[in-house]
Structure 1
Amino acid sequence: MFELTRYDGRRRIRGSLYLSVGLSLLAAMVIWVYPSFQAEVDLDQLLAAYPEPILQVMGVQTMASLGGFLAFELYTFGWIILLGLYLAYSTAGTIADDVDRGRMDVLLAMPLSRTRLVGERFAAMVVPIVVANLLPPIVVYVGAELIDESLSAADVLAVHLLSIPYLFACAGIGLVASVAVDRAGIAQRVALGVTFALFLSESLLSGTDAEAVGAIAPMRYYDPNEVLLEGTYDLAGAGILAAMTVVLLVASQLWFRRRDIG
């Protein structure tokens, strides 16, 4: 059992390690530039110069502290946008690529239900999601200590742990695209477009009469600012993201069961 999960998971280990190292280098660079940035620039005045819609889209609250600087420069950009888009894109190829390349008939000839096939392929995404969050929190905490800035170890750990259900929800979006479209390239572009559109809708509609529309966006339920600036952990939001992932997974399984594989 879980043969496909183990196979796919092993194939993703090397790329996931590279991803973790790359994100760690990004974290180290952000922390390294913070002291000089803080010394030379009035950060609050800089924020005041930005148009309000841009601050709203990027979720910027303050850059006058290392926590606020990291929430904006690292976690909003690196985790919510880049990593979220990457997981949606990567997952969108899990099913569609086999259909596109004509390998799906071979897989379905095995004693393996379509529901299980989709579930095991999706379960393999635990590798990039977890591995990507292994090294960066260590780099962030140690880097903060090296520049004599105070960051709570619990908050640093929490901002990464709470990103895991968010990233699974983004992967779930990619999975739906993967079972809906036969061509892997198209599925991946659809996943990218939908995920980024959800990010924009949540950011731009917040505080408006249409704010309720943003409730379907995973980004609403993961806020690095709350963790790093306020020490607040949104466990209810994490639960909503977990439920959202389950709904997307089940919907993908049901859709794939009823599909005709050409």
Structure 2
Amino acid sequence: MTTTVQPKQRTTFVPWIFYQTLVQRRRTLLYWMLALGGLTFYTASFYPTLVAGNQEALNNLVNELPPYMEALFGKMAGFTSPEGYLDAKLYLLFMPFVLMVYTIRFGTSIIAGEEQAKTIDLLLANPVSRTRVVLEKYAAMLVATALLVGVVGLAVWLAAVLYNFEVNTSGLVAVSLHLYGLIITLGTLAMFIANATANTLVAAGVTAFIAVVSYFINSFAALSETAERLQPLSLFYYYRGHEPLFSGVHAADLGVFALLSAIFLVLGVAAVNRRDLGA
């Protein structure tokens, strides 16, 4: 009598946590995309009206600004060019700090948010590891953030086409990539702190503080020797240090963001696996 051995059936991996996270956040994500896209389009489309017949007056105005104003709000000498206008109005300060609100909230909610909502036990009652939960939710954050950054870039391009002004497409792609790197790094840092402390408010506050300090260190590097020495520690240095909107992608800067995000992700996973959740 021969015995036949049935081959083991391979189970197909289904990233259901990833899909569920995006589905649960679909309305919020849609509202953010519409709001950011509309606001970006409106701001970019205002450029031709602003500079029409006013270039000389605007240049004279910005040239008279004190050095600390230029440090805070960027190099204003090229404000009347499309890239200079977009850099000052959108990519210097506004978009980074608006988008970091989204990613910080997303990052802190990955595990600590589930704990505070008392849903972590239900989630982990499924046959999934803590590591898988973190990684799939983190992947959802990567996708959602990419959609937001992409909508901003698309709105700028659409405004340039419809209102007949030229924008360097490669520079637009470059600044979008650098913006994505900055925002993801901050979101991953927030996730790590929240995973380690189980406190979303502490994680959000510490991450926001680091972002603000980074911005000021990078901004005042040209005016202060102390800030100049600390500049390599600033996340904004790797976002704006080489002015990607004007000069294109800088792989080394993106590499720093990728490395920091990977470190914070590993630390965040380790923090979740070491402590009692929901306690």
Residue of structure 2 equivalent to 1:89: 105
Residue in structure 2 matched with residue 58 of structure 1 by the alignment: 73
Distance change in 2, residues 1:12/1:182 (3 Å): same
SS of alignment partner, residue 150 of structure 2: coil
2:209 pairs with 1:193: yes
Please point out which of 153, 158, 161 is paired with 2:169: 153
Taking the aligned partners of 2:214 and 2:276, their CA distance within structure 1 comes to 29
**Alignment-mate amino acid for residue 178 of structure 1:** A
How far residue 215 of structure 1 moved from its aligned partner, in angstroms, is: 2.7
The one of 115, 125, 128 equivalent to 1:109 is 125
Give the alignment of 1:198-217 within 5 angstroms.
198-205=214-221, 208-217=225-234
Contact 1:26/1:74, CA 8 A, preserved across alignment: no
Q: Are the structure 2 counterparts of residues 49 and 93 from structure 1 closer, same or farther at C-alpha, using a change threshold of 3 Å? A: farther
Structure 1: segments with no counterpart, 5+ residues: none
Q: Find the counterpart in structure 2 of residue 44 from structure 1.
A: 59
Give the match for residue 120 of structure 1: 136
**1:246 deviation in Å?**
0.3
Equivalent residue of 2:226, what SS? coil
Give me the whole-angstrom Cα distance separating, in 2, the residues matched to 1:10 and 1:130. 16
**Aligned AA for 2:236?**
M
Task: Tell me what 1:11 maps to.
Answer: 24
Correspondence for 1:79 among 92, 95, 98: 95
Provide the TM-score with structure 1 as the length reference: 0.87
Structure 2 regions of 5+ residues with no counterpart? 1-13
Given that 1:31 and 1:140 are in contact with CA atoms closer than 8 Å, whether structure 2 keeps it comes out as: yes
Cα distance in 1 for partners of 2:242, 2:80 equals 13
Equivalent residue of 2:249, what SS? Answer: coil
Provide the secondary structure at the position in 1 that maps to 2:166. coil
- Kindly state the Cα deviation for residue 212 of structure 1 after the two structures are TM-superposed: 4.3
Structure 2 residue corresponding to 1:172, chosen from 158, 182, 188? 188
Are residues 1:237 and 2:253 paired?
A: yes
8 A contact 1:92–1:191 mirrored in 2: no
> Cα distance 1:135–1:8, how it changes in 2: closer, same or farther (>3 A)?
same
Q: Percent identity?
A: 23
Q: Does the CA contact (< 8 Å) of 2:41 and 2:158 recur in 1?
A: no
Residue 224 of structure 1: how far off its partner (Å):
9.0
When Rg is computed on C-alpha atoms for both structures, the one with the higher figure is: 2
Q: Tell me which stretches of 4 or more aligned residues in structure 1 moved more than 6 Å.
A: none
Distance 1:210 1:196, change over 3 A: closer
How much does 1:70 deviate?
Answer: 0.0
CA contact (8 A) 1:89 1:191 kept: no
CA distance in 2, matches of 1:225, 1:235: 11
Q: Which shifted more, 35-44 or 61-70? A: 35-44
Question: How far does the alpha carbon of each residue in 1:69-116 deviate from its partner, in whole angstroms, 9 at most, with x for none?
Answer: 101101123322221233123322221111122222333333322222
Confirm or deny that 1:2 pairs with 2:4: no
Structure 2 length as normaliser, TM-score? 0.82
Partner of residue 38 from structure 2, selected from 13, 18, 25:
25
Give the superposed CA RMSD.
2.5
Distance 1:212 1:259 in 2: 38
Q: State the shift of 1:219 in Å.
A: 1.8
Q: Distance in 1 between matches of 2:38 and 2:242?
A: 21
Higher RCO (C-alpha under 8 Å, 6+ residues apart): 1
- Does residue 221 (structure 1) correspond to residue 238 (structure 2)? The answer is yes
SS at match of 1:64: coil
